[in-house]
Amino acid sequence: MDAHLKEIQKDSRQVYDGHFLKVQKDTIVLPDGKESIREYIKHPGAVTVLPLFDDGSVLMERQFRYPLDRVFIEFPAGKIDPGEDTLECAKRELKEETGYTASQWEYVCTIHNAIAYSDEHLVLYVARGLKEGEFLDIYKAPLSGLLEQVRNGQITDVKTVIGVFWLEKILSGAWTPPARPAGV
Amino acid sequence: MDAHLKEIQKDSRQVYDGHFLKVQKDTIVLPDGKESIREYIKHPGAVTVLPLFDDGSVLMERQFRYPLDRVFIEFPAGKIDPGEDTLECAKRELKEETGYTASQWEYVCTIHNAIAYSDEHLVLYVARGLKEGEFLDIYKAPLSGLLEQVRNGQITDVKTVIGVFWLEKILSGAWTPPARPAGV
Q: In A, which residues are within 8 Å of B28 by CB distance?
A: 66
Rounded to a whole number, what is the distance in Å from the CA of B132 to chain A's nearest CA? 23
- For B46-172, which CATH class? alpha beta
Rounded to a whole number, what is the distance in Å from the CA of B140 to chain A's nearest CA? 17
The answer to whether residue A61 is catalytic is: no
Query: Worst-scoring range by mean pLDDT, A73-82, B34-43, B131-140?
Result: B131-140
Rounded to a whole number, what is the distance in Å from the CA of B102 to chain A's nearest CA? 24
Strand order in the sheet with B46-51: B77-79, B46-51, B122-131, B101-111
A132-171 pLDDT per residue, tens: 876 767 899 999 999 999 999 999 999 999 999 999 999 9
What distance in Å separates the CA atoms of residue B84 and residue B73, rounded to the nearest whole number?
26
**3-class SS of residue B41:** strand
Alpha carbon B78 to chain centroid, angstroms = 8
8 A C-beta contact, residue B140 and residue B127: no
**B66 and A113 in contact by Cβ < 8 A?**
no
| Predicted pLDDT at B1 | 62
- Rg (C-alpha) for chain B, rounded Å, is 19
Instruction: Please state the pTM of the whole predicted model.
Output: 0.93
Quick one: which of B182, B178, B65 has its CA closest to B124?
B178
Question: Where in chain A are the domains?
Answer: 3-41, 46-113+122-172
What residue in A sits closest to B70 (Cα-Cα)? A6
Interface test with A, best of B158, B162, B180 (most A CBs within 10 A): B158
**3-class SS of residue A139:** strand
8 A C-beta contact, residue B53 and residue A13: no
- For A46-113+122-172, which CATH class? alpha beta
What residue in B sits closest to A79 (Cα-Cα)? B116
Whether A84 contacts chain B with CB within 8 A: no
Better-predicted residue by pLDDT, B177 or A18? A18
Is the pLDDT confidence value at A111 over 80? Answer: yes
Task: List the single residue in B116, B150, B158 with the smallest CB-CB distance to A112.
Answer: B158
What residue in B sits closest to A63 (Cα-Cα)? B5
Task: List the single residue in A39, A150, A152 with the smallest CB-CB distance to B18.
Answer: A39
What residue in B sits closest to A170 (Cα-Cα)? B151
B162-172 pLDDT per residue, tens: 999 999 999 99
Mean pLDDT, chain B, integer: 94
Whether A105 contacts chain B with CB within 8 A: no
A53-106 pLDDT per residue, tens: 999 899 999 999 999 999 999 999 999 999 999 999 999 999 999 999 999 999
Interface test with A, best of B63, B117, B148 (most A CBs within 10 A): B117
Q: Which CA distances in Å does A32 have to A4, A5, A7, A26, B162?
A: 8, 9, 9, 17, 33
Count of H-run helices and E-run strands, chain A: 3, 10
Positions of B marked active-site:
132
Instruction: Output the DSSP codes for A74-92.
Output: E--EEEPPTT--HHHHHHH
With residue B96 as reference, give the H or E element that holds it. Answer: helix B86-98
**A156 and B109 in contact by Cβ < 8 A?**
yes
What distance in Å separates the CA atoms of residue B137 and residue B159, rounded to the nearest whole number?
18
| Predicted pLDDT at B63 | 93
Express as a percent the part of chain B with pLDDT over 90.
88
With residue B150 as reference, give the H or E element that holds it. Answer: helix B143-151
Is the pLDDT confidence value at B135 over 80? Answer: no
